[in-house]
Amino acid sequence: MQTEQPIKSSQSFFQFLYKYGTIVTVFLLIIIFTILEPRFIQADNLISILRSISIVTIIAIGITISLTVNGFDLSVGSTASLANAVVMSMFVWFAQDTFIAIISALLVALLVGLFNTFMIVKLKVPDMLLTLATMFIIQGVALTYTKGATISQNMVMPDGSFASGEVPQLFQKIGQVPWIILIMVIIVFLVHIFLNYTKHGRYMYMIGGNEEAARLSGIAVNKYKLFAYLLSASFAAIGGILLASRVMRAEINAGSPYLMEAVAAAFIGFAVLGKGKPNAFGTFVGAVLIGILANGLVMLSVPYYAMDIVKGTVLAFALALTYYKQKN
């Protein structure tokens, strides 16, 4: 009996750590960074953190949706880059309005989603390998489309003239506070409701848990996989569009740096509140954790080249915690 008590205590502690560890870590980091740098807790800095994680969170939500059907979309960073380039080119090169520019970027992203689904569902290519290949393909397409140049207002065109198109004021606003934060919050809320409180969300979780059982239950597995990859590509495109609005230009492979952070946020989310599965709220908490770490380390003057070490360590810890729990 005496040996069973420590075992039960350690199991209870691990259960608590698994369920609340991420949220506790967020609050501990806030306390630590505030002690080391009092400016950290100021409202302007907290708003800056939320703004900085908005694009990461939205792209990570796309990854989260692909994970619900036991998929994994690694092409989201490149899709964001392509959408970023397309939306800016619509303004600068072709003088289109906001609606046309945004729709064009979303349609291009949907083509990426359709390609991924066709290769994964019809040709049975493993999702991780396929979307890794797609990542390089889309990077190449984006570079070819922009000819390796940064797209911005008054840029020099290949014929030596200056681009005459301008970015509308309406588009400029969506990448600013509070709109970019509101868009993030709305997307997280809607996806959370969809996954947890609709039959379609439950079907997607069933597919992710046991695809064959879901198919035998009459669920249209292929259609839901198509839906998941289309949503993943769409949210990546929204991230790229917001990035264009925020920085007012489209740089080469602008969305690629967001991939690792988005993957980390999605996998950290597995452990939030002990869900043990991809979920929108957990992904948001994961993005907040990463944002707090990045912001706090910058304020403490930690060299930028050490940031990836911290982010990679956080991702490794999240993966270890998630998969250890799944096996126990």
pTM: 0.94
**pLDDT tens track for 73-98:** 999 999 999 999 999 999 999 999 99
Q: Tell me the C-alpha distance between 138 and 111, whole Å.
A: 11
* pLDDT tier at 9, thresholds 50, 70, 90: low
Residue 222: how many other CB atoms lie within 10 Å = 14
pLDDT tens by residue, 13-43: 777 777 788 888 889 889 999 999 999 999 9
Q: Is 7's pLDDT higher than 70?
A: no
- pLDDT over threshold 70, residue 200: yes
pLDDT in tens, 172-195: 999 999 999 999 999 999 999 999
- 46: pLDDT confidence band, cut at 50, 70 and 90? very high
- For the stretch 208-238, pLDDT in tens is 999 999 999 999 999 999 999 999 999 999 9
Q: How confident is the model at residue 147 (pLDDT cuts 50, 70, 90)?
A: very high
Angle, to 10 degrees, between the axis of helix 179-197 and the axis of helix 221-247?
Answer: 170
Q: What are the distances in angstroms from CA 305 to CA 27, 53, 309?
A: 25, 19, 8
Instruction: Quote the Cα angle for 79-82-83, to 5°.
Output: 85
Say if CB 181 and CB 195 are below 8 A apart.
no
Question: Taking a C-beta distance cutoff of 8 angstroms, is the pair 64, 123 a contact?
Answer: no
pLDDT digits (tens, 9 = 90+) for 247-305: 999 998 999 999 989 998 999 898 887 778 999 999 999 999 999 999 999 999 988 87
- Long-range contacts, stretch 49-52, CB < 8 angstroms, 24+ apart: 49/288, 49/291, 49/292, 49/295, 50/181, 50/184, 50/291, 51/177, 51/180, 51/181, 52/291, 52/294, 52/295
DSSP string across 133-166: HHHHHHHHHHHHHHTT--B-TTPBPTTSPBP---
- The overall average pLDDT reported for the chain is 92
CB 66 within 8 A of CB 229: yes
Which pLDDT tens digit goes with each residue over 161-172? 999 999 999 999
- pLDDT at 3 (0 to 100): 55
For residues 37 and 295, what is the distance between their CA atoms, to the nearest angstrom?
11
pLDDT at site 290 = 92
Peptide bond into 278 cis (omega under 30): no
Per-residue pLDDT at 271? 80
Structural domains present in the chain: 20-326 (1.10.3470)
**What length is written for the chain?**
328
Considering only CA atoms, which of 169, 175, 167, 160 is closest in space to residue 95?
Answer: 167
Residues of the chain with pLDDT > 70, as a percent, come to 92
Residues 6+ apart with CB under 8 A from 270: 276, 277, 278, 279, 282, 318, 322
